[in-house]
Structure 1
Amino acid sequence: MIRFWGQPRYSREPLKPIGYELFLRENLNGLWRVPNDFSRFTPCQITNLLKKTAPQLSQGMQRVSINLDIDQFIDSRFYRAFFAVKTQLPYLRISIELTEHSSSQIISDEQLVLAAKHFADANLHVILDDVGSGDNQINRVELLDPYVTEYKFAVQNFRPYESLNDIMPNLLFWHQLAAKHQKLFTIEGVESKKDLLILSHCRVDMLQGYDLGKPVYLPTQDDAVVVNADRCV
C-alpha cells in the first residue's frame, strides 16, 4: 500500500504553511518506508493516489509539489496523468519538481525542453529542485528558463558546515539568479531557529524544513483502498 506523506511549505511573509511537498511512502509489514525503487510505481498509481488524497487537504493547503526524476519527467505518460488530475481537480495547484538525479540513459536537451513545455502549457508548474546540486546546474537552468516557475535551494546538500553563513555566497548566487529570471525561490532544509534568524534577512519566497514542519501522513478518502496499478480511474 502506498500513501503520500507531506512536508509543509511555508510562505516567508507572513510565515505560514501554504501547501505540501509530497513524498511517496510504502507500507511494508505495518511500517512506512521509503520505497527502494520509485520507478516501479506507474503514473496511474501516483495520480490515482493524488486524487484520493486531494479532497482531504485542508483549505489553504491545496498547493502540492511532487518529485519526478528526469526519466519520469520526460515520460509523456506522467504529463498526461497529471494533466488529467488538473482537469478533474481544478482547485488543486500542482507543481512538478524535477530532481537533480542523473539518468542511466542518454537524454537530449530537446527531450527535456519538450517535457518542460508540456507541463508548463498545462499549467503544471515546473520547479527545479536542489539547484546547484547534481544535474540541476546553471546549464539546465538556462535551458529550461522559459518553462520553470521556481528554484529550490537545499541547504542540507551543503552540510556539514558550522553556520548557514558559510554557504551564504552559494545561496545568494541562486537567489539573485532567481530574481534575474523572475522565478520564485524556496530554501529547503531549515532545521533550527538559528537558520530561520539568518534567513530572515533573505527576501526569499518560501521556506521548508524540519524546524518548520516534518513530513506527516496524509489520509485518503478511504484508507482501506489499495491503489489499482492497472488502470486510471
Structure 2
Amino acid sequence: MIRFWGQSKFSVDPLKPVGCELFLREKIGQSWVLPNNFDQFSPRQIADLLLQTVPALPKGLKNVSINLDPEQFIDPNFCDTLKKIKNQLLPVTLEVELTEHPANCVISTDQIRLAAKRWFDAGIDLVMDDVGSGENQIDRTLQLDPYVQEYKFAIQNFRQTRSLTSIIHNLSFWCEEAEKKHKLFTVEGIESKTDLELLINYRINMLQGFSLGHPVYLPTLAEQSKNSVIQFTKSKNS
C-alpha cells in the first residue's frame, strides 16, 4: 500500500500555507517508510493516488508538488500520464520537483533538457529541488533555465551548526540567481525562529520546514469519506 505524506509550503507575507509537497510512502508492517525502489510504482499508480489525495486536501492550497528522480523525470510515460490528469486536480496546480539524486543509469544532459521541455510543454511547472546539492548544481540549473519556474534551497544540506551563518554564502548565491532568472525561490529546512529572522533580508517567496510543519499522513478521498460517515454516525447517535 502506498500513500502520500505532505508538508506545507508557506508564503512569507503573510505567513500562511499556500502549497504542499507530497512524499510517497509505503506501508511495511505497521510502519510507513520511504520506498527502497521508486521504480516499482507505475505512472498510473502515482496519478491515481494524486486523484484520490489532492481533492481531500484542505481548501485554499494553490499547488502541490511531487518529487521525481532523474529516471522518472525523463520517462515520457510519467509526463504523459500526469498531463492527462492535471486538469482534474484544479483549482490546485501540479508541479514536479527534479531531485538532486544521482541516476542509477547513464542519463545525458540532453535527455534531462529534452525532458524538462516536455514537462514545460505539458503545462506542468518544474521545480529544481535542493539547488546547489547533489546533481542540481549551477550547470544543470542553467541548462534547464528556460523551463524552470522555481528554485528550492535546502539549508539542512549545508547546515554544520544550528545557525544559518555557516551557509549564508550559498544561500545568497542561489537567492541572487533566482532573482536574476525571475524564478520563485523557496527555502526549506526552517527549524527555528532564528532561521526565520536570518532570512528576513532575502527575497524569498516560500518557506518550508519542521518549525512550520512536519510531513503528515494525508487521507485519500475514500478514507476521508469513511471518517465522515463515522463522525456523522457518532453525532447522530449521541
TM-score with structure 2 setting the length: 0.91
What is the deviation of 1:159? 2.4
* Distance of 2:176 and 2:192 partners within structure 1: 24
> What SS is found at the alignment partner of 1:87?
helix
In terms of fraction of residues, the more helix-rich structure is 2
Q: Which ranges in structure 2 are unaligned for 5 or more consecutive residues? A: 225-238
Confirm or deny: 8 A CA contact 1:54 1:62 kept in the other structure. no
User: Which residue identity does 1:25 align to in structure 2?
Assistant: R
- Structure 2 counterpart of 1:229: none
> What SS is found at the alignment partner of 2:21?
strand
- Alpha-carbon RMSD across the aligned residues, in angstroms, is 1.3
Q: Which moved more, 1:33-42 or 1:150-159?
A: 33-42
What is the deviation of 1:38? 1.4
Q: Can you list the C-alpha shifts for 1:151-187, whole angstroms capped at 9, x where unaligned?
A: 0000000122241022111100000001011100000
User: Which residue identity does 2:185 align to in structure 1?
Assistant: F
1:68 matched to 2:68? The reply is: yes
- Structure 1 counterpart of 2:26: 26
- Structure 2 counterpart of 1:35: 35
> What SS is found at the alignment partner of 2:54?
helix
What is the deviation of 1:30? 2.1
Higher RCO (CA < 8 A, seq sep 6+): 1
* Distance of 1:205 and 1:92 partners within structure 2: 18
What is the deviation of 1:62? 4.4
User: Which residue identity does 1:56 align to in structure 2?
Assistant: A
TM-score with structure 1 setting the length: 0.93
User: Which residue identity does 1:27 align to in structure 2?
Assistant: K
Confirm or deny: 8 A CA contact 1:190 1:196 kept in the other structure. yes
- Structure 2 counterpart of 1:177: 177
Aligned length: 224
What is the deviation of 1:60? 1.2
Q: Can you list the C-alpha shifts for 1:10-38, whole angstroms capped at 9, x where unaligned?
A: 01111110111000111122221111211
* Distance of 1:12 and 1:95 partners within structure 2: 20
> What SS is found at the alignment partner of 1:191?
coil
* Distance of 1:123 and 1:59 partners within structure 2: 22
Q: Which ranges in structure 1 are unaligned for 5 or more consecutive residues? A: 225-233
Q: Which moved more, 1:85-94 or 1:179-188?
A: 85-94
* Distance of 1:141 and 1:30 partners within structure 2: 40
Q: Bigger radius of gyration, 1 or 2?
A: 2
